[in-house]
Structure formats: structure tokens, C-alpha cells
């Protein structure tokens, strides 16, 4: 029996490092933002490498969903899927992945916005995806009758082992110490967009850095931050602690 994990997060979190962590498990296959191509094809948004992404991916929402609800390509017992709620603008959503264990990865939106602005010419409320992230959390909580797991990236950076152990327990999978480190470099499972976005994680071998303290947010994004903050704080109230 395969345990399918849908990990939802906004951009510029530690979502790719988390994918590396789960991908280090011998029992786990990983998928990198499988809906991204469909999102770009439907919206026509001018993201970096957009044409190449659309050409390389399955861009049919329902076909993608059927695949994700099936068996992993290599038959692994755990299938970790990295998802962005901002990309779910088509006819499917969290409720269509009802065979999954859903989890939510959060980060202070000031840091998300500041980091995203270094890669994109503009940052919008929809880009951050926090309203939809919060909505998906509530929908899954209603389905389960309890809060699904929420983890904060800063907590994982500060205490990787205890936080990842707690997450594995919440997801119903065994703890594997292999999740604490990985080989540097690119993976065949990385999205085709890796050259634009994954430079830092490709050089990494473990969770490292400190995501606490003050961050400089450009004045033009103060209003955006205030709009994102309530959703982040609501989710933060449910995060796993150790």
C-alpha cells in the first residue's frame, strides 16, 4: 500500500529542501510541482522558462490528478508530492487528492515576499498562495475532523531531526535518519525549472541556515505582507512543536 503525501506550501519556502529530505528515503518517490505546467498553460503567465515547462509536462488537470491518485512510477511505498496552492487554478483542488495525507509547510510571508521579489519582477497576493493554503487546510481539517500537520520551515532548520520525526509520526510513516542529509546536485525528479530556482538547494547537503530575525521588506510590499499575514498566523497556530 502506498502512502501518498501532498505537501502544500507557498513559494520561497524550504519546499525543495523538504523534497530532497524525503527523496533521501529508500522507500520514497518524489514529484516536483506536477500541476505547474497546467497552471502556466491555462493562465499564460510569463514565468521564467514557461514555454519549456508547458512543453515538458502533462498539462491536463484531470490526467495529472488521476496519475497522482495512482501508483508511484517506481512502486515506492511512500510518494511525496510537492504542491503549490497558487498553481491550483484549474478544475481540481485539494479535495480531488483524497487518497493523500495532506501537510502544510509555512514561512513568514515577509521572508517569502522578499525572496520571491529577487527572482520575479513583481509579487502578487495570488503568487504567495497563502489564502488558498489556509483554505485547503480548513477543508482538510473538516474532512479529517482534526487539524492536519503544519510545519514551519524555520523550525525544521533550527531542529531538523525532532521536527522531521514529529512530521513523520503525524503522516503515519516511519522515521528514517536518511532524511537529514542528501548528496548535492540536481535530480532527475526535479522540475525542468530547476536552473532558475534551485541553485542554492543544488549546492546543499542538509538543512542549514537560520530563518529567524528581522528581514528587510521593500516598502512597496508592506500592504501585501499585511494581507498575507492573517493567513500565515492562523496556520501557525496549528504548527507541530517539539
d(CA 201, CA 52): 21
Q: Does 120 have pLDDT greater than 90? A: no
Q: Over range 189-194, report the average pLDDT.
A: 96
**What percentage of residues in the chain have a pLDDT greater than 70?**
100
d(CA 196, CA 176): 30
Cβ neighbours of residue 238 under 8 Å, at least 6 residues apart? Answer: 137, 147, 150
Quick one: pLDDT at residue 238?
A: 98
Cβ neighbours of residue 115 under 8 Å, at least 6 residues apart? Answer: 12
Supply the mean pLDDT for the chain: 96
Least confidently predicted of 61-70, 119-128, 157-166, 233-242: 119-128
Q: Over range 26-49, report the average pLDDT.
A: 96
C-alpha gyration radius of the chain: 17
Residue of 12 and 134 predicted with greater confidence: 134
Q: Does 74 have pLDDT greater than 80? A: yes
- Contact (CB, 8 A) for 104 and 133: yes
Strand partners, 82: 7, 32
Q: Does 213 have pLDDT greater than 80? A: no
Amino acid at each position: 500500500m502506498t502512502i501518498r503525501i501532498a505537501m502544500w506550501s507557498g513559494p520561497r519556502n524550504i519546499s525543495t529542501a523538504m523534497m530532497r529530505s524525503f527523496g533521501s528515503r529508500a522507500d520514497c518517490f518524489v514529484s516536483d510541482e506536477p500541476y505547474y505546467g497546467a497552471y502556466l498553460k491555462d493562465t499564460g503567465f510569463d514565468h521564467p522558462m514557461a514555454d519549456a515547462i508547458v512543453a515538458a509536462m502533462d498539462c491536463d488537470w484531470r490526467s495529472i490528478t488521476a496519475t497522482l491518485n495512482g501508483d508511484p512510477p517506481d512502486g515506492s511505498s511512500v510518494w511525496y508530492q510537492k504542491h503549490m496552492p497558487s498553481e491550483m487554478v484549474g478544475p481540481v483542488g485539494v479535495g480531488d487528492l483524497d487518497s493523500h495525507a495532506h501537510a502544510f509547510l509555512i514561512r513568514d510571508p515577509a521572508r517569502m515576499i522578499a525572496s520571491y521579489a529577487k527572482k520575479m519582477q513583481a509579487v502578487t497576493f495570488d503568487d504567495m498562495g497563502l489564502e488558498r493554503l489556509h483554505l485547503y487546510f480548513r477543508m482538510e481539517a473538516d474532512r479529517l475532523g482534526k487539524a492536519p500537520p503544519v510545519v514551519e520551515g524555520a523550525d525544521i532548520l533550527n531542529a531538523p531531526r525532532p521536527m522531521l520525526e514529529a512530521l513523520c509520526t503525524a503522516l503515519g510513516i516511519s522515521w528514517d535518519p536518511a532524511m537529514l542529509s542528501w548528496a548535492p546536485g540536481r535530480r532527475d525528479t526535479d522540475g525542468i525549472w530547476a536552473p532558475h530556482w534551485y541553485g542554492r538547494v543544488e549546492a546543499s547537503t542538509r538543512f542549514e541556515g537560520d530563518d529567524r530575525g528581522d528581514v528587510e521588506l521593500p516598502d512597496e510590499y508592506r500592504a501585501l505582507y499585511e494581507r498575507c499575514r492573517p493567513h500565515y498566523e492562523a496556520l501557525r497556530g496549528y504548527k507541530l512543536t517539539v
